[in-house]
Structure 1
Amino acid sequence: MTDHQVIVRRARAEDIPGLVASSAGLFAEDGGMRDRSVNVDWPPQYGARTFAAALEDPAHLVLAVERDGQVVGHLLGTVTGPTAKRTVTAATLVSIYVRPEHRRARAGDRLVEEFLDWARRQGAEHAEVTAYATNTEAIRFYERGGFTAMTLTLRQAL
């Protein structure tokens, strides 16, 4: 698959069903497999409302990956701050997913590039993303894009 077969663009209201489906793919493939506390039913229950609100909020970026008129991936990002606690404006890549059969088209790279460009335009001084420690593929993807480890969350089951 070539770069020209998929389109990365700003999402629109009519994309919401595809964004929800993309989010469900992320939850099933990543969160649901790596963290039993994740509600894998979140996308069908809350995704449409969340994406609709984000589309209307200038502090959020919603991107869609389109192939042959279908949404096959997404990115949701936000920018916040500065605040009394964090004195700089920061961008957070909240979620990103591209269906496996479309990953070779560099859609993920293009999503992150668009997100970082948007974050700079919003005045963000840094961007951050979280990944499960066991998701070495995602960690390598983000590191190739210039992200470096900043914090580590440790968990103990009770």
Structure 2
Amino acid sequence: MEDLEIRPAVKEDVPAIVALLADDPLGAQRETPDDMSPYLTAFERLGADPNQHLVVAVRESRVVGTLQLTIIPGLSRRGATRSIIEGVRIDADERGSGLGTRLIEWAIDESRRQGCQLVQLTSDNTRTDAHRFYERLGFSASHRGFKLQL
């Protein structure tokens, strides 16, 4: 893994990130890689918010993984700051290589650096392999999540 770089995403990475997001059955239903305009707008919004960290994993000048880390200050838990990991995607050719572990470890380390006391993530009910992966990394399925589509 020495040839792997985890770095902040740049605008030129957006098409590769969107391709990763779309490269599974759920993502194929949600993403539209043929139109980059909403993604570029979202990328600008993320860049303007210091609590948002969109990163890519790059090997041999190719984006092979991504995730978004959001830092959330709060009042609950005695004023604890928490982080949320979202949009974790690994290139199909890289799955099982340890790259996902490296990205999650980066997010946990960055969360600590940012003073977080808790790291959270959600995973679709159908992603049972991902659930086992997160549990192996020490996460527990402690809550039931809800979403409201707007």
Specify the TM-score bucket, using the shorter chain as the normaliser. Answer: 0.7 to 0.9
Where in structure 2 are there 5+ consecutive unaligned residues? none
* Structure 1 counterpart of 2:65: 73
- Which residue identity is paired with 1:94? E
* Structure 1 counterpart of 2:54: 62
- Which residue identity is paired with 2:116? A
Q: Which range moves more in the overlay, 142-151 or 55-64?
A: 55-64
- Which residue identity is paired with 2:8? R
Q: Indicate the structure whose relative CO is greater, using CA pairs within 8 Å and at least 6 residues apart.
A: 1
Give the aligned length: 146
Distance 1:5 1:91 in 2: 28
- What percentage of residue pairs aligned between the two structures are identical? 29
* Structure 1 counterpart of 2:30: 39
> Cα RMSD (Å) of the superposition?
2.6
TM-score (norm 1): 0.78
- Which residue identity is paired with 1:82? G
* Structure 1 counterpart of 2:144: 152
Q: Which range moves more in the overlay, 47-56 or 123-132?
A: 47-56
Distance 2:140 2:123 in 1: 12
TM-score (norm 2): 0.81
Where in structure 1 are there 5+ consecutive unaligned residues? none
* Structure 2 counterpart of 1:21: 19
